[in-house]
């Protein structure tokens, strides 16, 4: 019997959740003991073993059952329709693993996000982005937008940056994970003039400018720029920055005002709009109920 044959998934049902048990389809009966007995269960990706009661099919219950799952259901917030995977890890020792697929995917995504954040090279960061895209079944650019926005919202918001021109030609290194996310979100195009060019390896060239080097790599402190705009930001007269929700929306360089393309600013506005709509809907429902 292959490893695949030792693993199956079932949908949680409301009636079984209320009773704190799992109903095992009869076609998987051969993976379990022939009599009512205690089996050993490990939950999700844990290591601790818990003894639960297994009840085989009989004329009364008319289904195979695993009892004693109520606490795990509550802990994981299992809902009707959730997919639960069961693996017979050692049938002779009556050892099984029960895992909530939704929880396991969230754990996988968290692990990949951590890897993306600490990636040492662009190649490593790109691999994590591709993996995260596969896990979430979304396009890399959509994932990059969400992750960069997540970083901006979860990281301690810096004070509004004061744009400080560099006094040297040194380029501050940006973490590979952040750099790859910026590349995906902006497609390598300068946020000021939209210029880029294709390098010999087929990738688009861009540089990352820190509005204030002292603040570091917070997404609101970074701009994707072309070499020309980068040089202007560092050496020209830069004045009158215009900020919207903490993002640089426009800046004046040598007396000329230039708009700054900020896709994540639109993301912020959209989330705020959705939040407002939810509040308005809740108020209307409340008024209806009062009537």
Q: What is the DSSP string of 131-145?
A: HHHHHHTS-HHHHHH
pLDDT score, position 71? 96
What is the structure's pLDDT at 150?
Answer: 87
- The candidate with the shortest Cα–Cα distance to 133, out of 122, 119, 145, is 145
Q: Do residues 99 and 83 lie in contact, with contact meaning Cβ atoms separated by under 8 Å?
A: no
pLDDT of residue 154: 77
Distance (Å, whole) CA 63 – CA 19: 14
Grouped pLDDT means (10 residues each) for the chain, 291 residues: 76 95 92 95 95 89 91 96 96 96 95 94 94 94 91 71 56 85 95 95 94 88 96 94 91 96 70 44 48 49
| Tokens found for residue 91 | 């049938």
pLDDT of 246: 87
Integer Cα distance of 47 and 169 in angstroms: 53
Question: CA nearest 152: which of 217, 239, 100, 215?
Answer: 217
How remote is the C-alpha of 272 from its chain's centroid? Answer: 19
Burial 220-244, CB ≥16 within 10 A → b, else e: bbbbbbbeebbebbbeeebeebeee
C-alpha Rg value of the chain to the nearest Å? 27
Residue 110, Ramachandran bin (φ over 0: left; ψ between -120 and 50: alpha; else beta):
alpha
- Kindly state the helix (H) or strand (E) to which residue 10 belongs, with its residue range: strand 7-11
Q: Cα separation of 219 and 156, whole Å?
A: 11
């Amino acid at each position: 019997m292959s490893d695949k044959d030792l693993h199956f998934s079932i949908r949680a049902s409301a009636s079984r959740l209320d009773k704190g048990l799992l109903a095992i389809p009869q076609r998987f009966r051969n993976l379990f003991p022939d009599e009512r007995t205690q089996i050993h269960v490990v939950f999700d990706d844990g290591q601790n073993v818990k003894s639960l009661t297994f009840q085989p099919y009989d004329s009364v219950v008319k289904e195979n059952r695993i009892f004693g799952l109520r606490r795990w259901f509550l802990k994981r917030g299992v809902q009707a329709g959730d997919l639960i995977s069961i693996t017979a890890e050692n049938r002779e020792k009556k050892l099984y693993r029960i895992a909530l697929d939704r929880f396991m995917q969230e754990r996988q995504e968290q692990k990949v996000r951590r890897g993306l954040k600490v990636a040492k090279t662009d190649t490593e960061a790109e691999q994590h982005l591709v993996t995260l895209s596969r896990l979430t079944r979304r396009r890399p650019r959509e994932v990059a937008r969400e992750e960069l926005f997540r970083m901006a919202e979860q990281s301690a918001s810096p004070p509004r940056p004061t744009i400080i021109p560099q006094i040297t030609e040194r380029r501050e290194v940006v973490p590979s994970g952040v750099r790859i996310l910026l590349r995906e979100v902006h497609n390598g195009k300068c946020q000021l003039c939209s210029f880029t060019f294709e390098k010999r390896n087929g990738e688009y060239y861009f540089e990352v400018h820190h509005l204030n080097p002292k603040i570091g790599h917070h997404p609101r402190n970074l701009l994707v720029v072309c070499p020309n705009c980068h040089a202007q930001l560092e050496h020209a007269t830069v004045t009158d920055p215009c900020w919207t929700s903490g993002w640089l929306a426009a800046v004046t360089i040598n007396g000329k005002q230039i708009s700054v393309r900020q896709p994540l600013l639109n993301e912020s506005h959209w989330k705020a709009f959705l939040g407002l709509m939810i509040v308005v809907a809740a108020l209307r429902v409340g008024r209806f109920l009062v009537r």
